[in-house]
Copies of this chain bind each other. A is one copy, B any other.
Amino acid sequence: MPEVLLADFQVKRLEVLNEKGEADPELLPELSDAQIWRLYELMLLARIFDERAVALQREGRIGTYPPIRGQEAAQVGSAFALTKQDWLFPSFREMGAHLTLGYPIPQLLQYWGGDERSQKVPVGLNIFPFCVAVGSQIPQAAGAALAARYRRDPVAIVTYFGDGATSKGDFHEAMNLAGVFNLPLVFICQNNQWAISIPLKGQTASASLAQKAVAYGFEGVQVDGNDVFAVYRATGQAVAKARSGAGPTFIECLTYRMADHTTADDAGRYRSGEEVAFWAARDPILRLERFLERRGLWSPQKREEAAAQAAALVDAGVAEMEALPPPAATELFDEILATLTPRQAGQRKVR
């Protein structure tokens, strides 16, 4: 009758590839060498795209841009586990996921260039528009998952968000809906340990984000987010579970935002160079290179070649983006409603 134990919850962390590039053979996902090389190429592409985007912003050729440096394993590894039938509800800092799913580079750049027209996601990709209002995409993903379940579509709905987003009511309400309706939904939290200047411990007192799933009655797991295999494995399991109707999963990818919050930010104001250096040494691309090297698949020259290829893709994307004519003023009125209101139509006429 006294204090009784009501429940016991264990929260786990998945690691596959260590700093030295050694993989746990039991946990290493079944991926061919070609697939692993593809992961590497995509991570490099993400890195090079990101560097170029930052440079373009500095040159005034695009607008404010949020770098993904350091999060390539978390983004590429997770998106690699998806198919084009799955639905993706991103925040604004998962360009690595977009690239992995084949999102056109010019269009990504066009978005950060502030061009409305870029927001039309190509048909064939079930990706939602970038979402700047932190966390607000998460309940929308829950709705898509309800719809998919209603339609009996064997797809997974995936939503990305950051550590900061977990503080918002939207995250909570969506997690709760996912639990109650046992939705085919995968929550991928890019815990890059910062929300602009707020460090993780200023964001939550919980020791991990993974344990937040306990509140909603479904599985949460932390993965080493700089370990592309761990991310891929956890996501693969979660999407398979979702597609099979076995319910939602929350995945915390513990990673690090190596660059500024955006090009308008100066992270030097609020965090130490040592911390950044600590994480730079844990660069997810380096780690995969060490693994590949152990397998005899990598050399500095191979990197050069892959990087050159990626750079060429990005170059072409930049050129294509910059060749676009500026939008006309009437574009303001495009796709506002299926049919403009009389007042809108009148306003359009005088533009």
Interface residues in chain A, defined as those with a beta carbon under 8 Å from any beta carbon in chain B: 1-16, 18, 22, 24, 26-27, 167-173, 176, 179-180, 182, 201-208, 210-212, 214-218, 222
Are A24 and B10 in touch, CB under 8 angstroms?
A: no
CB distance from A47 to the nearest CB of B (A): 25
Give the number of times this chain occurs in the complex, counting copies. 2
CB-CB < 8 A to A167: which residues of B?
A: 173, 176
Select from chain B the residue with minimum beta-carbon distance to A209: B215
14 A-B residue pairings within 8 Å (CB atoms): A1-B18, A2-B14, A4-B15, A6-B208, A6-B222, A8-B8, A8-B10, A167-B176, A168-B169, A176-B204, A176-B205, A180-B201, A180-B203, A212-B214
CB-CB < 8 A to A216: which residues of B?
A: 204-206
Select from chain B the residue with minimum beta-carbon distance to A206: B217
Are B168 and A173 in touch, CB under 8 angstroms?
A: yes
Are B8 and A12 in touch, CB under 8 angstroms?
A: no
> Among the listed B3, B9, B13, B179, which residue makes an inter-chain contact with A4, where contact means beta carbons less than 8 Å apart?
B13
CB distance from A53 to the nearest CB of B (A): 32
Contact of A215 with B206 at beta-carbon distance under 8 Å, contacts A2-B15, A12-B4 already known: yes
CB-CB < 8 A to A10: which residues of B?
A: 5, 7-9
CB distance from A178 to the nearest CB of B (A): 8
Complex Cα gap A4–B4 (Å):
27
Are A24 and B9 in touch, CB under 8 angstroms?
A: no
Are A208 and B15 in touch, CB under 8 angstroms?
A: no
CB distance from A248 to the nearest CB of B (A): 9
Are A11 and B6 in touch, CB under 8 angstroms?
A: yes
> Among the listed B169, B171, B180, which residue makes an inter-chain contact with A170, where contact means beta carbons less than 8 Å apart?
B169
Are A211 and B214 in touch, CB under 8 angstroms?
A: yes
> Among the listed B4, B15, B207, which residue makes an inter-chain contact with A7, where contact means beta carbons less than 8 Å apart?
B207
Select from chain B the residue with minimum beta-carbon distance to A220: B215
Are B215 and A211 in touch, CB under 8 angstroms?
A: yes
Are A13 and B18 in touch, CB under 8 angstroms?
A: no
Are A179 and B208 in touch, CB under 8 angstroms?
A: no
Complex Cα gap A290–B203 (Å):
48
Select from chain B the residue with minimum beta-carbon distance to A10: B8
CB-CB < 8 A to A168: which residues of B?
A: 169, 172-173
CB distance from A169 to the nearest CB of B (A): 2
